[in-house]
Structure 1
Amino acid sequence: MTAIKPIVGITMGDAAGVGPEIILKSFEHDTVHETSRSFVIGDASILERAKQYTGTTKMIHRIASPAEAQFERGTIDCLDLDLLTSDLPLGEVSAQAGDAAFQYLAKAIELANAGEIDAICTAPLNKEALQKGGHMYPGHTEILADLTGTKDYSMMLSAPNLKVIHVTTHVGIVDAIQMITPERVLHVIQLAHDTLKKAGTENPKIAVCGINPHAGENGLFGYGEEEEKVIPAVEQAQQKGIDVQGPLPADTLFFRTVRGDFDIVVAMYHDQGHAPVKVLGLEAGVNITVGLPIIRTSVDHGTAFDIAGTGIADENSLVEALRQAVELAPKRG
């Protein structure tokens, strides 16, 4: 029996950024149509404007629910929330656009919870605009966790030959170190193991970063954070039969992982995990929130206000995010 293509809701993100542009460009890729039934959750008027600088000739088809979507190659279905007007300034922080980005995501979560869509794929939002719009979250991940009632979750970045999952994300470095506990590290190791097993890796090889340079080098650097916060978690995970090593020095670990020594790296804080992935190319990375009751993938880049409206934004990260959303989505029929 042929599996029915999953339905993916693509949230438009911050309309003052490159989200509308990369969405339109993504629908020019045959793979998007061949593997999924995708539609946009956003503002149709903004997509119409973006047609002017992307050159797409596809028709924007306004819908009120996923059931009205046509999923035809000549059209882009848009669940039109009608929150913005086409004269919204491009490349500027806007409370109106920040609030709209939140509403697009909230609608997507509502549809996913109701079983009307199989996965969510998000275009980027702007954190300053989001908060100016009245939504005091540091990013997509925290909104998804809050609106789905999820307490234990993590951000995973996926790029060719490198997967990274984070113990902490959108907090300052001092706060991150305080938030790292053996319990949290163990939980993220378990999330990494379970996520890769579901994706088909039979016995994932997991590496855990140290917190300090050289993973503390036996107490030479830091104040015993590795011994207090990381080593107990790694030992507990090993006792559960998980193939995990650490803490290991982050300055060589990512090279070793790209080489093939490990399947995934557990990073302790935002930049420790993000920087190596982004060195591989902004167009290559995908952001996946693991631990949620719904599937969510995203581009691994920001709103790029500096090039919004120029028509030069690269859509390949979104295309890859859509591919991974399809791969992770529950199968229908």
Structure 2
Amino acid sequence: MSDSPPRRLPRIAISVGDVAGIGPELSIACAADQAVKGVCFPVLYGPAEVLRRISVQLGYATAEMPQIVDVPIEQPESVIAGQFSAATGQASFDAVSRAIDSTMAGESSAIVTGPIQKEAWHEAGITFPGHTELLASRTAVDQFSMMLTSETISCVLATIHVPLADVPSLLSVDLILRAIRNGADALARRLRRPARVAVCGLNPHAGENGLFSHGEEANLIEPAIAQARSEGIDIIGPLPPDTAFTPRMREQTDVYICMYHDQGLIPLKALSFDDAVNVTLGLPIVRTSVDHGTALDLAWQGVASRRSMMAAIRMVIDLTEKP
């Protein structure tokens, strides 16, 4: 018999997202899963009264309920499935803020976030466009990137939640190089070998040597690629976006660097809608998230797929355990 002490499971803070959506039921179900409890100690952050009401509606026994850090919401009895409000937005913001505090203080090992309703944040007067920007602000980081990843495909975004018309003016050599470095580092740690990086062009046909561009490929993307290559990164591009994601190209690529949100999200969700994970790169803490929305039409019915939430928990454990 071994005399070694039992392994201490990492405490994972799970912010449940907007309580009017599917985040709470996914958080409850996954945190109660024996496979999850075997690798971590999950703690839910959200309005306890609403979470208990949802768990009863879905038939969970009291003994199955995970630990909850109560983040109060105004008039919890008035919260209705599928109907977000300023109150649900404020509650989801407060929940993830508490989870960040816990992780920054070392009480939790990492954060998993459920889906928020961005309109609800706006109604509550919250100016952050999403989790990623909030996390960067709260951790005082400016060299961050958003990566969406699955077993099939990984995409890092140079720009994130901005109007498409603003993308060209926001791109810079430094911004693109940051996405390249963060993506190459993340996949190298995950795969334990140098990552193969492919960079998408911004314009049709990657600009067609300037015919279909305003010089973004030549003046911004190509210099960033050249600098990354000089640093030893295995990298190609800029690739025409319409052929970058073919099966043959995916076989040769570990991570794509995409210039704007939908350039990466469209192929990722087409290939891995149910099991993709959102990872914020460049933070001093580990954070993963589901890669889907609040699905208000499915809320509190117990029918929403758990695959992305389970993948986010598995990913956060993987990233937390690796050196």
TM bucket normalised to smaller = over 0.9
The aligned counterpart of 2:98 is: 107
3-state SS of paired residue (2:83): coil
1:263-292 CA-to-partner distances (Å, cap 9, x unmatched) read 000010000011111112432110000011
Give the superposition deviation at 1:198.
2.3
Higher mean C-alpha deviation, range 6-15 or range 323-332: 323-332
Contact 2:13–2:99, Cα closer than 8 Å, also in 1: yes
CA distance in 2, matches of 1:272, 1:256: 17
Give the superposition deviation at 1:27.
2.9
CA distance in 2, matches of 1:331, 1:208: 27
Question: Structure 2 stretches of 5 or more lacking a match?
Answer: none
Contact 1:165–1:273, Cα closer than 8 Å, also in 2: yes
The aligned counterpart of 2:36 is: 32
CA distance in 2, matches of 1:185, 1:252: 20
CA distance in 1, matches of 2:300, 2:7: 38
1:247-266 aligned at under 5 Å gives the runs 247-256=238-247, 259-266=250-257
1:103-142 aligned at under 5 Å gives the runs 103-142=94-133
**Once superposed, what is the RMSD of the aligned Cα atoms?**
1.7
The aligned counterpart of 1:238 is: 229
The aligned counterpart of 1:46 is: 50
The aligned counterpart of 2:21 is: 17
Question: Structure 1 stretches of 5 or more lacking a match?
Answer: 60-73
Give the superposition deviation at 1:249.
1.2
CA distance in 2, matches of 1:304, 1:109: 24
1:75-113 CA-to-partner distances (Å, cap 9, x unmatched) read 410011232413312212300110111111111111111
CA distance in 1, matches of 2:228, 2:119: 38
Q: Indicate yes or no: 2:90 matched with 1:78.
A: no
The aligned counterpart of 2:59 is: 55
Give the superposition deviation at 1:30.
2.4
CA distance in 2, matches of 1:3, 1:230: 46
Give the superposition deviation at 1:323.
0.4
The aligned counterpart of 1:8 is: 12
Give the superposition deviation at 1:58.
4.2
Contact 1:24–1:54, Cα closer than 8 Å, also in 2: no
3-state SS of paired residue (2:192): coil
TM-score normalised over the length of structure 2: 0.94
Identity %: 38
CA distance in 1, matches of 2:161, 2:198: 22
Distance 1:3 1:238, change over 3 A: farther
TM-score normalised over the length of structure 1: 0.91
Distance 1:139 1:118, change over 3 A: same
Give the superposition deviation at 1:3.
4.9
Give the superposition deviation at 1:293.
0.7
Distance 1:51 1:242, change over 3 A: same
1:29-53 CA-to-partner distances (Å, cap 9, x unmatched) read 3221111111101111111111244
Q: How many residues align?
A: 318
Contact 1:8–1:119, Cα closer than 8 Å, also in 2: yes
Distance 1:259 1:193, change over 3 A: closer
Distance 1:39 1:257, change over 3 A: farther
3-state SS of paired residue (2:193): coil
Q: Which portions of structure 1, spanning 4 or more consecutive aligned residues, are displaced by more than 6 angstroms?
A: none
Corresponding residue to 2:317 among 310, 316, 326: 326
